[in-house]
Amino acid sequence: MALKPPFQASYYSNAGFQNQPRMNANLPPAGLVTKMPDEGAEFCIKPEQPRTSTPPNIKKFRKSFNEEPGAKQIHYGVADDPLPPESFTYGKKTHGSDHVHEVIKPNQLQGLTEFANKLKEDKYASSIREPLGRPMERNYEMPGVVHEPDFKYGVKTIGSESAYTLIFPPGGKTMEPDDVRKMYYKSHGVTEAGEQIRRDYNWPVDKHEHRFGLPDPKQLDGAAISLQPEKYGSTHPKTIIVQKTVEDFRSTAHEDLGKPRNLGQGKPNLPEDHAFGSSIHRKNEWTAKQCIHGQPNKREVQPDPDLGRTNRLGFRNTVKDGDEDRQFGVPTIRNDIPKKSFKSVADPNNYGDEASAVQLLYPDFWLRYGITIEEFRRERPKEEIKDLFDCAGMEIKRGKLEAVCSKALQFAGIVSLESFIQALRWYEAQGLV
Protein backbone atom coordinates (compact mmCIF):
# COMPACT_ATOMS: atom_id res chain seq x y z
CA MET A 1 0.00 0.00 0.00
CA ALA A 2 1.49 3.36 -1.01
CA LEU A 3 1.84 6.11 1.68
CA LYS A 4 0.42 9.50 1.24
CA PRO A 5 2.75 12.42 0.97
CA PRO A 6 3.22 14.28 4.31
CA PHE A 7 2.02 17.57 2.83
CA GLN A 8 -1.45 16.22 2.31
CA ALA A 9 -3.97 17.36 4.96
CA SER A 10 -5.64 13.93 5.26
CA TYR A 11 -2.34 12.50 6.62
CA TYR A 12 -2.46 14.71 9.79
CA SER A 13 -6.15 14.26 10.32
CA ASN A 14 -7.38 12.09 13.18
CA ALA A 15 -8.92 9.61 10.84
CA GLY A 16 -5.80 9.35 8.75
CA PHE A 17 -3.51 9.05 11.84
CA GLN A 18 -5.58 6.28 13.33
CA ASN A 19 -5.80 4.32 10.13
CA GLN A 20 -2.07 4.47 9.36
CA PRO A 21 0.36 2.02 11.01
CA ARG A 22 2.64 3.67 13.74
CA MET A 23 6.36 3.73 12.90
CA ASN A 24 9.16 3.75 15.68
CA ALA A 25 6.79 2.80 18.43
CA ASN A 26 9.65 2.78 21.07
CA LEU A 27 10.25 6.56 20.84
CA PRO A 28 8.41 8.61 23.54
CA PRO A 29 5.75 10.90 22.17
CA ALA A 30 6.56 14.60 22.05
CA GLY A 31 4.90 16.98 24.56
CA LEU A 32 4.33 14.32 27.26
CA VAL A 33 5.98 14.40 30.72
CA THR A 34 8.00 11.31 31.44
CA LYS A 35 9.13 10.15 34.94
CA MET A 36 11.98 7.77 35.54
CA PRO A 37 12.36 6.23 38.99
CA ASP A 38 15.19 7.39 41.31
CA GLU A 39 16.41 10.16 38.98
CA GLY A 40 14.40 13.22 40.05
CA ALA A 41 15.66 16.37 41.87
CA GLU A 42 13.93 15.28 45.09
CA PHE A 43 15.80 11.98 45.10
CA CYS A 44 19.14 13.82 44.58
CA ILE A 45 18.52 16.17 47.52
CA LYS A 46 16.84 13.63 49.83
CA PRO A 47 18.13 10.19 48.97
CA GLU A 48 16.49 7.19 50.49
CA GLN A 49 18.03 6.07 53.76
CA PRO A 50 19.44 2.53 53.78
CA ARG A 51 17.22 0.10 55.51
CA THR A 52 20.03 -1.52 57.48
CA SER A 53 22.22 0.54 59.94
CA THR A 54 25.27 -0.24 62.06
CA PRO A 55 24.38 -1.67 65.50
CA PRO A 56 25.10 0.72 68.42
CA ASN A 57 27.63 -1.63 70.00
CA ILE A 58 29.68 -1.66 66.76
CA LYS A 59 29.07 1.91 65.62
CA LYS A 60 31.59 3.35 68.11
CA PHE A 61 34.41 1.43 66.38
CA ARG A 62 33.74 2.99 62.97
CA LYS A 63 35.67 6.03 61.80
CA SER A 64 32.44 7.87 61.00
CA PHE A 65 31.56 7.79 64.72
CA ASN A 66 33.77 10.87 65.40
CA GLU A 67 32.96 12.59 62.11
CA GLU A 68 29.31 13.38 62.79
CA PRO A 69 28.61 17.13 62.67
CA GLY A 70 28.23 18.67 66.13
CA ALA A 71 29.22 15.45 67.95
CA LYS A 72 32.02 15.33 70.52
CA GLN A 73 35.00 13.18 69.55
CA ILE A 74 35.27 10.33 72.05
CA HIS A 75 37.59 7.38 72.03
CA TYR A 76 35.70 4.15 71.49
CA GLY A 77 37.32 2.72 74.60
CA VAL A 78 35.50 5.21 76.86
CA ALA A 79 32.40 5.80 74.72
CA ASP A 80 30.15 3.72 76.99
CA ASP A 81 31.77 4.75 80.31
CA PRO A 82 29.50 6.65 82.74
CA LEU A 83 30.37 10.34 83.23
CA PRO A 84 31.32 11.63 86.71
CA PRO A 85 28.98 14.08 88.49
CA GLU A 86 29.15 17.81 87.66
CA SER A 87 30.75 18.58 91.04
CA PHE A 88 33.67 16.24 90.32
CA THR A 89 37.06 18.02 90.21
CA TYR A 90 40.00 16.58 88.27
CA GLY A 91 43.59 16.71 89.47
CA LYS A 92 45.06 16.75 92.97
CA LYS A 93 44.99 19.49 95.54
CA THR A 94 48.10 21.69 95.68
CA HIS A 95 49.95 21.40 98.97
CA GLY A 96 50.82 24.69 100.64
CA SER A 97 54.45 25.60 101.25
CA ASP A 98 56.67 28.60 101.85
CA HIS A 99 56.40 31.46 99.38
CA VAL A 100 59.25 32.22 97.03
CA HIS A 101 59.93 35.74 98.39
CA GLU A 102 60.13 34.36 101.92
CA VAL A 103 62.62 31.66 100.90
CA ILE A 104 65.05 33.69 98.78
CA LYS A 105 64.77 37.06 100.57
CA PRO A 106 68.31 37.82 101.82
CA ASN A 107 69.24 39.34 105.19
CA GLN A 108 65.78 39.02 106.67
CA LEU A 109 65.83 40.10 110.31
CA GLN A 110 63.34 38.77 112.82
CA GLY A 111 62.73 38.97 116.53
CA LEU A 112 65.39 40.55 118.72
CA THR A 113 67.74 41.01 115.79
CA GLU A 114 65.19 43.22 114.02
CA PHE A 115 64.54 45.19 117.22
CA ALA A 116 68.26 45.78 117.78
CA ASN A 117 68.73 46.88 114.18
CA LYS A 118 65.81 49.34 114.56
CA LEU A 119 67.48 50.91 117.63
CA LYS A 120 70.66 51.43 115.62
CA GLU A 121 68.79 52.92 112.64
CA ASP A 122 66.85 55.38 114.84
CA LYS A 123 70.10 57.21 115.60
CA TYR A 124 70.37 58.56 112.07
CA ALA A 125 68.56 61.75 111.15
CA SER A 126 67.70 60.40 107.71
CA SER A 127 65.84 57.49 109.32
CA ILE A 128 63.78 59.95 111.39
CA ARG A 129 63.01 62.42 108.60
CA GLU A 130 62.67 59.85 105.80
CA PRO A 131 61.35 56.57 107.29
CA LEU A 132 61.35 53.55 104.98
CA GLY A 133 58.06 53.14 103.14
CA ARG A 134 56.69 56.61 104.04
CA PRO A 135 57.15 60.08 102.50
CA MET A 136 59.48 62.60 104.05
CA GLU A 137 57.87 64.58 106.88
CA ARG A 138 58.78 68.27 106.67
CA ASN A 139 56.32 69.44 109.40
CA TYR A 140 54.88 72.23 107.27
CA GLU A 141 51.99 74.25 108.75
CA MET A 142 49.58 74.66 105.85
CA PRO A 143 46.67 77.13 105.94
CA GLY A 144 43.15 75.86 106.46
CA VAL A 145 42.12 76.52 102.84
CA VAL A 146 44.47 73.74 101.71
CA HIS A 147 42.29 71.11 103.40
CA GLU A 148 39.14 72.09 101.48
CA PRO A 149 38.05 69.48 98.88
CA ASP A 150 37.96 72.01 96.00
CA PHE A 151 41.42 73.40 96.68
CA LYS A 152 43.90 73.11 93.79
CA TYR A 153 47.55 74.16 93.52
CA GLY A 154 48.90 76.26 90.69
CA VAL A 155 47.55 79.07 88.56
CA LYS A 156 44.54 78.54 86.37
CA THR A 157 45.37 78.38 82.68
CA ILE A 158 43.89 81.27 80.72
CA GLY A 159 42.28 80.28 77.46
CA SER A 160 43.92 81.49 74.25
CA GLU A 161 43.46 81.04 70.55
CA SER A 162 43.00 77.52 69.24
CA ALA A 163 45.49 75.76 67.00
CA TYR A 164 42.99 75.79 64.15
CA THR A 165 42.79 79.60 64.30
CA LEU A 166 46.56 79.93 64.30
CA ILE A 167 46.95 77.59 61.29
CA PHE A 168 43.92 78.94 59.39
CA PRO A 169 43.48 82.57 60.52
CA PRO A 170 40.10 84.16 59.77
CA GLY A 171 40.11 86.42 56.72
CA GLY A 172 42.97 84.57 55.10
CA LYS A 173 42.91 83.61 51.45
CA THR A 174 42.01 80.00 50.74
CA MET A 175 43.44 80.04 47.21
CA GLU A 176 46.77 81.54 46.18
CA PRO A 177 47.08 83.53 43.00
CA ASP A 178 48.04 81.59 39.93
CA ASP A 179 51.38 83.35 39.54
CA VAL A 180 52.34 82.61 43.16
CA ARG A 181 51.33 78.95 42.82
CA LYS A 182 53.45 78.61 39.67
CA MET A 183 56.40 80.22 41.45
CA TYR A 184 56.22 77.66 44.31
CA TYR A 185 55.82 74.87 41.77
CA LYS A 186 59.00 75.94 40.01
CA SER A 187 61.10 76.54 43.15
CA HIS A 188 59.86 73.84 45.55
CA GLY A 189 57.84 71.47 43.36
CA VAL A 190 54.64 72.15 45.38
CA THR A 191 51.52 70.70 43.73
CA GLU A 192 47.87 70.61 44.62
CA ALA A 193 46.16 67.48 45.91
CA GLY A 194 45.79 65.06 43.00
CA GLU A 195 47.72 67.29 40.61
CA GLN A 196 50.09 65.52 38.25
CA ILE A 197 53.68 66.73 38.01
CA ARG A 198 54.32 68.17 34.59
CA ARG A 199 57.88 68.03 33.27
CA ASP A 200 57.00 69.40 29.80
CA TYR A 201 58.18 66.31 27.93
CA ASN A 202 57.64 66.14 24.17
CA TRP A 203 55.51 63.00 24.03
CA PRO A 204 55.25 61.24 20.66
CA VAL A 205 51.80 60.02 21.74
CA ASP A 206 48.81 61.52 23.51
CA LYS A 207 49.62 61.06 27.22
CA HIS A 208 45.97 61.39 28.20
CA GLU A 209 44.82 58.50 25.98
CA HIS A 210 47.92 56.29 25.73
CA ARG A 211 48.42 53.42 28.17
CA PHE A 212 51.92 52.05 28.82
CA GLY A 213 52.70 48.36 29.35
CA LEU A 214 51.01 45.20 28.15
CA PRO A 215 47.44 44.28 29.09
CA ASP A 216 46.73 41.21 31.19
CA PRO A 217 45.58 38.28 29.04
CA LYS A 218 41.96 37.44 29.40
CA GLN A 219 41.32 34.27 31.33
CA LEU A 220 38.40 32.16 30.28
CA ASP A 221 36.30 30.14 32.71
CA GLY A 222 37.45 32.19 35.72
CA ALA A 223 34.37 31.44 37.79
CA ALA A 224 34.59 27.72 37.01
CA ILE A 225 38.27 27.62 38.05
CA SER A 226 37.45 29.36 41.35
CA LEU A 227 34.58 26.98 42.16
CA GLN A 228 36.21 23.75 40.95
CA PRO A 229 40.02 24.17 41.06
CA GLU A 230 40.62 20.42 41.13
CA LYS A 231 39.50 20.17 37.51
CA TYR A 232 41.96 22.82 36.32
CA GLY A 233 45.69 22.57 36.85
CA SER A 234 47.30 21.10 39.96
CA THR A 235 46.22 23.60 42.61
CA HIS A 236 44.52 20.99 44.78
CA PRO A 237 45.27 17.26 44.53
CA LYS A 238 42.44 15.05 43.56
CA THR A 239 40.83 12.74 46.06
CA ILE A 240 42.34 9.26 46.07
CA ILE A 241 40.05 6.41 47.03
CA VAL A 242 41.77 3.51 48.76
CA GLN A 243 40.50 0.21 50.04
CA LYS A 244 38.83 0.02 53.43
CA THR A 245 41.24 -2.63 54.64
CA VAL A 246 44.17 -0.25 54.09
CA GLU A 247 42.41 2.52 56.03
CA ASP A 248 41.54 0.16 58.88
CA PHE A 249 45.17 -0.94 59.12
CA ARG A 250 46.37 2.67 59.21
CA SER A 251 43.93 3.63 62.00
CA THR A 252 45.00 0.58 64.03
CA ALA A 253 48.77 0.54 63.48
CA HIS A 254 49.30 4.31 63.90
CA GLU A 255 48.59 6.61 66.85
CA ASP A 256 45.86 9.23 66.56
CA LEU A 257 46.62 12.74 67.73
CA GLY A 258 45.65 13.11 71.40
CA LYS A 259 44.65 9.43 71.78
CA PRO A 260 46.49 6.39 73.13
CA ARG A 261 47.53 3.67 70.75
CA ASN A 262 45.12 0.79 70.38
CA LEU A 263 46.97 -2.36 71.47
CA GLY A 264 43.92 -4.60 71.37
CA GLN A 265 44.11 -5.37 75.09
CA GLY A 266 40.80 -3.84 76.09
CA LYS A 267 40.11 -1.58 79.04
CA PRO A 268 42.46 -2.16 82.03
CA ASN A 269 40.87 -3.30 85.31
CA LEU A 270 41.87 -0.22 87.34
CA PRO A 271 39.90 2.21 89.51
CA GLU A 272 38.62 5.49 88.07
CA ASP A 273 41.06 7.67 90.06
CA HIS A 274 44.13 5.62 89.10
CA ALA A 275 47.04 7.70 87.76
CA PHE A 276 50.09 6.21 86.05
CA GLY A 277 53.61 7.33 86.92
CA SER A 278 55.18 8.55 90.16
CA SER A 279 53.71 11.30 92.31
CA ILE A 280 55.29 14.74 92.30
CA HIS A 281 54.92 15.16 96.08
CA ARG A 282 56.91 12.49 97.86
CA LYS A 283 56.88 11.74 101.53
CA ASN A 284 59.52 13.50 103.65
CA GLU A 285 60.62 15.56 100.67
CA TRP A 286 62.52 18.73 101.55
CA THR A 287 61.16 22.14 100.61
CA ALA A 288 63.19 24.96 99.07
CA LYS A 289 63.62 26.57 102.49
CA GLN A 290 65.07 23.39 103.97
CA CYS A 291 67.43 23.03 101.02
CA ILE A 292 68.78 26.56 101.61
CA HIS A 293 68.93 26.64 105.44
CA GLY A 294 69.29 22.91 106.10
CA GLN A 295 67.91 20.91 109.01
CA PRO A 296 70.86 19.65 111.07
CA ASN A 297 70.34 17.66 114.24
CA LYS A 298 72.05 18.21 117.59
CA ARG A 299 74.87 15.78 116.84
CA GLU A 300 75.73 17.39 113.51
CA VAL A 301 76.18 20.87 114.99
CA GLN A 302 78.68 19.64 117.60
CA PRO A 303 82.36 20.45 116.97
CA ASP A 304 84.54 17.82 115.37
CA PRO A 305 86.29 15.51 117.84
CA ASP A 306 89.69 16.38 116.36
CA LEU A 307 89.22 20.15 116.71
CA GLY A 308 92.45 21.55 118.17
CA ARG A 309 94.12 18.16 118.50
CA THR A 310 94.83 15.11 116.39
CA ASN A 311 93.43 11.63 116.90
CA ARG A 312 96.29 9.97 115.06
CA LEU A 313 98.72 8.06 117.27
CA GLY A 314 102.23 9.42 117.24
CA PHE A 315 101.17 12.84 115.98
CA ARG A 316 99.58 14.24 119.15
CA ASN A 317 100.83 17.50 120.61
CA THR A 318 101.90 16.74 124.17
CA VAL A 319 101.83 19.89 126.29
CA LYS A 320 104.84 20.30 128.49
CA ASP A 321 105.39 22.56 131.45
CA GLY A 322 105.27 26.16 130.30
CA ASP A 323 103.52 25.35 126.99
CA GLU A 324 99.94 25.88 128.27
CA ASP A 325 99.48 29.01 126.10
CA ARG A 326 101.45 27.69 123.16
CA GLN A 327 99.77 27.48 119.73
CA PHE A 328 100.87 24.58 117.61
CA GLY A 329 100.92 24.60 113.82
CA VAL A 330 101.02 27.45 111.30
CA PRO A 331 98.38 30.23 111.55
CA THR A 332 95.99 30.75 108.67
CA ILE A 333 96.85 34.45 108.39
CA ARG A 334 100.64 34.74 108.32
CA ASN A 335 101.33 37.69 110.54
CA ASP A 336 104.51 36.02 111.76
CA ILE A 337 106.39 36.60 108.52
CA PRO A 338 106.87 39.92 106.66
CA LYS A 339 104.80 40.61 103.58
CA LYS A 340 106.71 41.07 100.37
CA SER A 341 106.24 44.19 98.29
CA PHE A 342 105.34 42.10 95.23
CA LYS A 343 103.46 38.90 95.97
CA SER A 344 104.10 35.99 93.61
CA VAL A 345 101.21 34.07 92.10
CA ALA A 346 102.79 30.88 93.51
CA ASP A 347 102.77 32.25 97.09
CA PRO A 348 99.99 30.35 98.97
CA ASN A 349 100.24 32.45 102.15
CA ASN A 350 97.48 34.77 103.30
CA TYR A 351 98.81 37.98 104.80
CA GLY A 352 95.37 39.28 105.89
CA ASP A 353 94.83 41.44 102.82
CA GLU A 354 92.64 39.05 100.85
CA ALA A 355 88.93 39.69 100.22
CA SER A 356 86.38 38.11 102.51
CA ALA A 357 83.44 35.97 101.43
CA VAL A 358 81.11 38.98 101.63
CA GLN A 359 83.40 41.02 99.37
CA LEU A 360 83.53 38.17 96.85
CA LEU A 361 79.72 37.87 96.77
CA TYR A 362 79.08 41.63 96.86
CA PRO A 363 82.20 43.32 95.39
CA ASP A 364 82.78 47.00 96.05
CA PHE A 365 81.72 49.51 93.39
CA TRP A 366 85.19 51.02 93.01
CA LEU A 367 86.88 47.66 92.38
CA ARG A 368 85.75 47.80 88.75
CA TYR A 369 87.96 50.91 88.39
CA GLY A 370 90.93 49.27 90.13
CA ILE A 371 90.49 51.12 93.47
CA THR A 372 90.55 48.93 96.58
CA ILE A 373 88.94 49.64 99.94
CA GLU A 374 92.39 50.27 101.47
CA GLU A 375 92.63 53.48 99.44
CA PHE A 376 89.61 54.84 101.30
CA ARG A 377 90.90 53.76 104.73
CA ARG A 378 94.47 54.99 104.30
CA GLU A 379 95.41 58.03 106.33
CA ARG A 380 95.81 61.14 104.18
CA PRO A 381 96.75 64.77 104.87
CA LYS A 382 94.05 67.43 104.77
CA GLU A 383 95.40 69.12 101.66
CA GLU A 384 95.31 65.85 99.69
CA ILE A 385 91.67 65.22 100.70
CA LYS A 386 90.75 68.80 99.69
CA ASP A 387 92.44 68.33 96.29
CA LEU A 388 90.50 65.10 95.69
CA PHE A 389 87.15 66.75 96.46
CA ASP A 390 88.02 69.81 94.36
CA CYS A 391 88.85 67.59 91.36
CA ALA A 392 85.52 65.78 91.84
CA GLY A 393 83.64 69.13 91.58
CA MET A 394 82.92 69.48 95.34
CA GLU A 395 84.84 72.54 96.49
CA ILE A 396 85.35 72.57 100.27
CA LYS A 397 86.34 75.77 102.03
CA ARG A 398 89.00 75.96 104.68
CA GLY A 399 86.68 76.31 107.67
CA LYS A 400 84.47 73.42 106.56
CA LEU A 401 87.57 71.30 105.93
CA GLU A 402 88.90 71.83 109.46
CA ALA A 403 85.52 71.04 111.07
CA VAL A 404 84.92 67.86 109.04
CA CYS A 405 88.48 66.62 109.62
CA SER A 406 88.08 67.15 113.35
CA LYS A 407 84.87 65.11 113.37
CA ALA A 408 86.49 62.39 111.19
CA LEU A 409 89.38 62.16 113.66
CA GLN A 410 86.82 61.76 116.44
CA PHE A 411 85.00 58.93 114.60
CA ALA A 412 87.90 56.79 113.35
CA GLY A 413 91.04 58.10 115.05
CA ILE A 414 92.59 58.95 111.66
CA VAL A 415 91.65 61.25 108.80
CA SER A 416 90.96 59.11 105.72
CA LEU A 417 88.56 59.31 102.81
CA GLU A 418 86.16 56.90 104.56
CA SER A 419 86.15 58.78 107.88
CA PHE A 420 85.98 62.15 106.09
CA ILE A 421 82.91 61.08 104.06
CA GLN A 422 81.30 59.68 107.23
CA ALA A 423 81.86 62.97 109.07
CA LEU A 424 80.62 64.99 106.08
CA ARG A 425 77.38 62.98 105.98
CA TRP A 426 76.95 63.53 109.72
CA TYR A 427 77.14 67.32 109.24
CA GLU A 428 74.67 67.14 106.32
CA ALA A 429 72.22 65.10 108.39
CA GLN A 430 72.40 67.69 111.17
CA GLY A 431 71.81 70.49 108.66
CA LEU A 432 75.04 72.27 109.61
CA VAL A 433 76.57 72.39 106.12
Three-state SS annotation for the chain: CCCCCCCCHHHCCHHHHHHCCCCCCCCCCCCCCCCCCCCCHHHHHCCCCCCCCCCHHHHCCCHHHHCCCCCCCCCCCCCCCCCCCCCCCCCCCCCCCCCHHHHHCCCCCCCHHHHHHHHHHCCCHHHHHCCCCCCCCCCCCCCHHHHCCCCCCCCCCCCCCCHHHHHCCCCCCCCCCHHHHHHHHHHCCCCCCCCCCCCCCCCCCCCCCCCCCCCCCCCCCHHHHHHCHHHCCCCCCCCCCCCHHHHHHHHHHCCCCCCCCCCCCCCCCCCCCCCCCCCCCCCCCCCHHHHHHCCCCCCCCCCCCCCCCCCCCCCCCCCCCCCCCCCCCCCCECCCCCCCCCCCCCCCCECCCCCCHHHHHCCCHHHHHCCCCHHHHCECCHHHHHHHHHHCCCCCCHHHHHHHHHHHHHHHCCCEHHHHHHHHHHHHHHCCC
73: pLDDT strictly greater than 70: yes
393: pLDDT strictly greater than 80: yes
Mean pLDDT within 78-106: 79
Highest mean pLDDT among 224-228, 255-259, 422-426: 422-426
Mean pLDDT within 9-34: 51
Q: For the chain, what is the mean pLDDT?
A: 77
- pLDDT for 56: 75
pLDDT in tens, 269-310: 778 777 777 777 777 778 888 888 788 888 888 888 777 667
173: pLDDT strictly greater than 70: no
- pLDDT for 209: 85
- pLDDT for 135: 78
Of 21-30, 36-45, 233-242, 358-367, the one with minimum mean pLDDT is 21-30
- pLDDT for 239: 72
Residues 377/378/383/385 CA torsion (nearest 10 deg) = -30
Asked if 134 and 126 count as a contact pair (C-beta separation under 8 A), the reply is: no
Mean pLDDT within 255-264: 68
Mean pLDDT within 305-323: 71
- pLDDT for 416: 92
Mean pLDDT within 27-50: 63
Distances (CA, A) of 10 to 20, 24, 180: 11, 21, 98
- pLDDT for 34: 55
Q: In 3D, which of 137, 115, 116 has the Cα closest to residue 126? A: 137
- pLDDT for 235: 57
Look at 296 and 406; give whichever has higher pLDDT.
406
User: Model pTM?
Assistant: 0.25
- pLDDT for 25: 57
Look at 23 and 26; give whichever has higher pLDDT.
26
Categorize the per-residue pLDDT at 233 as very low, low, confident or very high, splitting at 50, 70 and 90: low
- pLDDT for 7: 41
pLDDT in tens, 333-387: 888 888 888 888 888 888 887 877 887 888 877 777 778 888 888 899 989 999 9
Mean pLDDT within 125-150: 81
91: pLDDT strictly greater than 70: yes
18: pLDDT strictly greater than 60: no
Look at 329 and 36; give whichever has higher pLDDT.
329
- pLDDT for 28: 60
Categorize the per-residue pLDDT at 420 as very low, low, confident or very high, splitting at 50, 70 and 90: very high
